[in-house]
Amino acid sequence: MGRAGEGKLIAVTVSDQDLVKSIFESCRELSRRTGRHISPDGHLVGSLGEVYAAEKLHLQLQTASNAGYDALDVEGHRVEIKTTTRASISLSTHGNTAERLIVIHLDPDTGTPTIVYDGEAAPAWELAGAPQKNGQRKITLTTLTATKK
């Protein structure tokens, strides 16, 4: 038998950004407890950026791991979305089929997103460094933002 009021569900709405923030807070707390660096990275960070960009910029996401681009914009342009918690992004050496590049920086402590680049894709590929051993070319966020000025 329950107490009065038990059994009633209270709807709680949590924003997407609050959920993202909790992921980053959990990683920070696990790092503190274990003494090991634990951070969201890889596919998780990329997917968070893609979802954010799609919602914020009215993009239509394509199937995950779509070759050459991640989304289509309202004009039908192919869009590549890159997300990082660091000071640079990596671009494929296999070329680029996207016409537009969006780069999202997620604050490494809170997961708060910032669009640091939203523009033509070609200049970024032209400015990216030489291919690394993993087949990726790096470009810093500072270099990217300078191309928009």
Q: Residue 49 class from Cβ within 10 Å (0-12 exposed, 13-18 middle, 19+ buried)?
A: buried
Q: CB of 75 within 8 A of CB of 88?
A: no
| pLDDT of the residue at 2 | 46
How far apart, in whole angstroms, are the C-alpha atoms of residue 34 and residue 87? Answer: 26
| pLDDT of the residue at 149 | 63
| pLDDT of the residue at 135 | 84
First to last CA, the chain: 67
Other Cβ atoms closer than 10 A to 112 = 13
Diameter over CA atoms, the chain: 69
| pLDDT of the residue at 130 | 86
Per-residue pLDDT of the chain (149 residues), as tens digits, is: 445 556 677 777 889 999 999 999 999 999 999 999 998 988 899 999 999 999 999 999 999 888 889 999 999 999 999 999 999 999 987 767 899 999 999 999 899 999 999 999 999 998 998 888 888 999 999 999 998 76
Go through the domains of the chain in sequence order and give each one's CATH number. 40-147 (3.40.1350)
Radius of gyration, alpha carbons of the chain: 19
